[in-house]
């Protein structure tokens, strides 16, 4: 195999014919005419997206990898609870992992550093409002099963993940040595400590995308319309503060500042403000670092769910990023994994620094 089985399928003529037939039936139900052939927008291990021109405007078809086939149903559910922050699909095919959505705006493609601070303030504020809306719909969203990795489950999950990767054959692209696994396991105590800190304040768990990526934020044509958030295949039911951790780190790096310095401080404050009815802002700020740590475990889990069904070449290509996520989730310094060092994989911050951050 050169590519994952499902990626090869997405490029087959039989699959294309099936997709076009499904799209045509959906459009017929809406009385809408397709005005030309669809165009492939993206193709990667997680999903493929097609742009479908119609007389009513451009629509977007998405097919997800088998490990993320739940995204179609999740998006359909959360759209009704999102107060306009998630586009509602026109149709879904849950068994196939397909859904067709209207084109509602343009993604934020400008580099994060070039976006005005007030724009990011709005992104963070709208994201927080969405998180609270979804937290209030927990019972409905839980029906049928939603992927989750709660703070108090994270250390046990990572411990099992280390055992699993160490048990893989030595030639497997995702194998880590027993010695590296033992070294990485030193970070489990820090993960447990982070979960304890988060448990001290009753913040409702919610369904979060994993991180705020510019490509997952839609800006509508109308300034009065809410920002919209797309790309829920890697979403996990977890602590809402984990959502902004990676974005804050990236923005701090770009602006050469600390999280408590402008312009990032205002962005963080915009996200926390909707939660201040639960605890004072200063108390909420203390939870950001532990939540960010656990967010890396969620991203690692979402990546591994994809990769375990992929072919060796895809696994090998993704291994450096997977090991970076695992090392960061375990608050482990770069030297913790000789295997990742050999592949020039970046590691996390020093363990001592992580302890101070948490």
The model's pLDDT over 129-153, given as tens digits with 9 standing for 90+, comes to 999 999 888 777 766 567 889 999 9
Rounded to a whole number of angstroms, the distance between the first and last alpha carbons of the chain is 43
- The model carries a pTM of 0.86
In 3D, which of 231, 238, 161, 226 has the Cα closest to residue 195? 238
- Average the pLDDT over 273-281 and give the result: 95
Alpha-carbon gap, residue 175 to 5, rounded angstroms:
22
Alpha-carbon gap, residue 64 to 70, rounded angstroms:
8
Query: Which residues, other chains included, contact 60 with Cβ-Cβ below 8 Å and sequence gap of 6+?
Result: 41, 49, 50, 51, 52, 100, 101, 102, 103
- Average the pLDDT over 167-193 and give the result: 95
Q: What local confidence, expressed as pLDDT, does residue 266 receive? A: 94
Q: What local confidence, expressed as pLDDT, does residue 167 receive? A: 96
Alpha-carbon gap, residue 243 to 108, rounded angstroms:
17
Q: What local confidence, expressed as pLDDT, does residue 255 receive? A: 85
Q: What local confidence, expressed as pLDDT, does residue 112 receive? A: 57
Helix (H, G, I), strand (E, B) or coil at 341: helix
Alpha-carbon gap, residue 109 to 215, rounded angstroms:
6
- In this structure, the strands spanning 217-219 and 57-64 are unpaired
- Greater confidence, 248 or 26? 26
Alpha-carbon gap, residue 52 to 40, rounded angstroms:
9
- Average the pLDDT over 107-129 and give the result: 78
Q: What local confidence, expressed as pLDDT, does residue 144 receive? A: 56
- The DSSP result for 166-217, as a single string, is HHS-TTSTT---HHHHHHHGGGHHHHHHHHHHHHTS-PPPEEE-SS--GGGE
- Average the pLDDT over 303-315 and give the result: 90
Q: In Å, how far are 86, 116, 138, 258, 308 from 263, measured between CA atoms?
A: 27, 10, 33, 9, 40
- Beta-carbon-side half-sphere exposure of residue 135 (alpha carbons within 13 Å): 17
CB of 211 closer than 8 Å to CB of 243: yes
- Average the pLDDT over 274-290 and give the result: 94
């Amino acid at each position: 195999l050169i590519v994952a089985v499902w990626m090869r399928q997405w490029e087959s003529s039989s699959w294309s014919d099936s997709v076009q037939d499904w799209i045509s039936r959906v459009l017929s139900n809406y009385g809408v005419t397709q005005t030309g052939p669809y165009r492939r927008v993206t193709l990667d291990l997680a999903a493929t997206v097609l742009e479908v021109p119609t007389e009513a405007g451009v629509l977007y078809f998405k097919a997800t990898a088998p490990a993320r086939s739940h995204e179609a149903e999740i998006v359909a559910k959360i759209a009704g609870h999102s107060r306009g922050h998630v586009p509602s699909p026109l149709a879904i095919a849950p068994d196939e992992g397909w859904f067709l959505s209207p084109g509602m705006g343009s993604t934020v493609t400008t580099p994060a550093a070039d976006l005005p601070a007030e724009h990011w303030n709005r992104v963070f504020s709208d994201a927080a409002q969405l998180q609270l809306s979804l937290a209030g719909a927990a019972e409905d969203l839980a029906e049928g099963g939603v992927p989750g990795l709660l703070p108090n489950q994270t250390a046990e999950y990572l411990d099992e993940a280390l055992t699993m990767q160490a048990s893989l054959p030595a030639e497997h692209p995702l194998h880590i040595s027993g010695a590296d696994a033992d070294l990485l396991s030193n970070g489990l105590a820090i993960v447990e400590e982070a979960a304890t800190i988060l448990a001290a304040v009753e913040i409702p768990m919610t369904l979060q995308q994993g991180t705020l990526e510019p490509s997952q934020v839609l800006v509508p044509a109308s300034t009065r319309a809410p920002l919209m958030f797309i790309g829920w295949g890697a979403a996990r039911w977890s602590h809402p503060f984990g959502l902004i951790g990676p974005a804050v780190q990236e923005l701090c790096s770009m602006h050469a500042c600390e999280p408590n310095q402008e312009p990032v401080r205002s962005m963080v404050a915009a996200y926390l403000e909707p939660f201040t009815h639960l605890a004072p802002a200063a108390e909420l700020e203390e939870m950001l670092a532990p939540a960010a740590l656990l967010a890396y475990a969620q991203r690692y889990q979402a990546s591994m769910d994809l990769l375990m069904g992929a072919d060796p070449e895809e696994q090998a290509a993704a291994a450096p990023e997977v090991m970076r996520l695992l090392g960061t989730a375990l608050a482990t310094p770069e030297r913790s994994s000789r295997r990742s060092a050999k592949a020039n994989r970046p590691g996390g911050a020093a363990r001592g620094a992580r302890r101070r951050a948490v």
